[in-house]
Amino acid sequence: MNDTGDKPPTNADLWDEAAIEEALKDLRDLHHRVRQMRLTVPKMSERVCASRTTETGEIREAIGNARKEIDDLKHNMTKPESKKIFEHAKQSRQDDSKDIKPWDPKDETKLV
């Protein structure tokens, strides 16, 4: 039993500090990748708009690069390690949600 009363230990109780630090590192990386996605369309269209004589191959390359970025993000968001972190966070919020406030994506100062 843990110090929260009669409730049995949950998955949230089993993570040590090193596991939490590693999870935070992974979440920072995912957050960075998501923020980089904001630039995907501008980077793709930049090459097209740069010149009226842009070759079809260059357009395809830009689209291919954008697709790789999207696939990479999707892979990183759905890999087992990420799912484990998301599930742990969900369980932790359910177990003890007193001081956990929802993340406000408009307030980036809290992440630094």
pLDDT (tens digit per residue) in 24-70: 999 999 999 998 888 888 887 777 777 666 677 888 888 898 899 99
Q: How would residue 108 be classed by pLDDT, with cut points 50, 70 and 90?
A: low
Looking at the domain assignment, is residue 5 inside a domain?
no
Whole-number pLDDT of residue 2: 44
Amino acid at 8: P
Is the whole-model pTM more than 0.85?
A: no
Q: Is residue 70 part of a domain?
A: yes
Q: Is residue 11 assigned to a domain?
A: no
Place of tokens 């999207």: 70
Characterize 18-34 residue by residue with b for buried, 16 or more Cβ atoms within 10 angstroms of its Cβ, and e for exposed: eeeeebeebeeebeeee
Whether residue 29 is contained in a domain is answered as yes
- Establish if 96 belongs to a structural domain: no
pLDDT tens-digit series, residues 70-93: 999 999 999 999 999 999 988 888
Query: Is 2 contained in some domain?
Result: no
- Total number of domains in the chain: 1
